[in-house]
Amino acid sequence: MADSFGPMRDEDADGDVVGMGPNEGSPRKEPIRVLVVDDHALFRRGLEIVLAAEEDIQVVGEAGDGAEAVDKAADLLPDIVLMDVRMPKRGGIEACTSIKEVAPSAKIIMLTISDEEADLYDAIKAGATGYLLKEISTDEVATAIRAVADGQSQISPSMASKLLTEFKSMIQRTDERRLVPAPRLTDRELEVLKLVATGMNNRDIAKELFISENTVKNHVRNILEKLQLHSRMEAVVYAMREKILEIR
C-alpha cells in the first residue's frame, strides 16, 4: 500500500514535491486533522490506511463528493481537506470556496489525476493551498499534509513547471515592462512580497531584510489580508500578474 500511488515522474532536483513558503518548525501538540474527499471509496480507504500509520495525522472523516465535503467540513472543522478535483454532484474546485466559508481555518490540498493547467489555476483562485498529482508516493502525501499545516504551499513539480511557463508567457505578451506597485501595500510589504515571489521562506526573508521572522510573518499576513488572497501561492500569482517580479 505504501507505493500505491506510484513514483513521482516529473521531479525537481531533489525529487520532491515543490513547496512555497516556510516550515515554521514548531512542534504540534495535537495531530493534524484531515478530511479525505474522493469519489472512489477504495482510494479513500487506501489513504486512510496509509495516514493511520502517521502518529501526527488523524483522518477525522471522509466524503464522496464536493457537496458532502462541505457538510463534513462544517461539522468536523478539519485542519486539512485532501480533495479530488473531478467528482460527481459537485467538483472539488467548486467545493473549495464553500469549504473556506464554513471552515475558514481549513487548508485545502487538491489530490488529483488532472494535470490540466486550467484546473490548477482555478484551484488556486478558489483557495487551494496545494495541488498534487496522484502519481506521487504515499510518503509524499503525508509530508505534504505536514508542510501545508505548517504554512507552506505544495505543488507537484510538473504542475509548478506549467505554472511558471504560463507566468512567463503572460509577461511576454505585453510590451509594457515597468513595475506596477501594489498601491495598498507599504514599501516594506512590497519588498517582502517580491521576496515571497522568488520562493524565499520567512527565515531567508528575515536575513535579507535584517528583520525578525515574526516581523516577516506579520508582513505576509498583512499582505494576504490587504490583497484578499488565501495563500503564498496566490501571492506569487499576484506578483507575476502585476509584474512585481519579472521572470527572464
pLDDT digits (tens, 9 = 90+) for 49-60: 999 999 999 999
Distance between CA 159 and CA 115 in Å, rounded? 7
Q: 3-class SS at 235?
A: helix
Q: Write the pLDDT tens digit of every residue in 120-168.
A: 888 888 889 889 888 888 788 999 999 999 888 888 777 777 666 666 6
Q: What confidence tier does 201 reach under pLDDT thresholds 50, 70, 90?
A: confident
* Residues 57 and 116 occupy one common structural domain: yes
The CATH number assigned to the domain holding 137 equals: 3.40.50.2300
Q: How many CB atoms lie within 10 A of CB 77?
A: 15
| 6 domain residue, yes or no | no
Domain total of the chain:
2
In a domain, 36, yes or no: yes
Is the residue at 1 inside a domain?
no
The range of the structural domain enclosing residue 208 comes to 174-241
Indicate the residue type of 184.
R
Same domain, 150 and 227: no
Same domain, 148 and 33: yes
95 with 45, same domain?
yes
Give me the phi and psi of 135, to 5 degrees please: -80, -5
Q: Does 2 reside within a domain?
A: no
Which grid coordinates belong to 40? 472512489
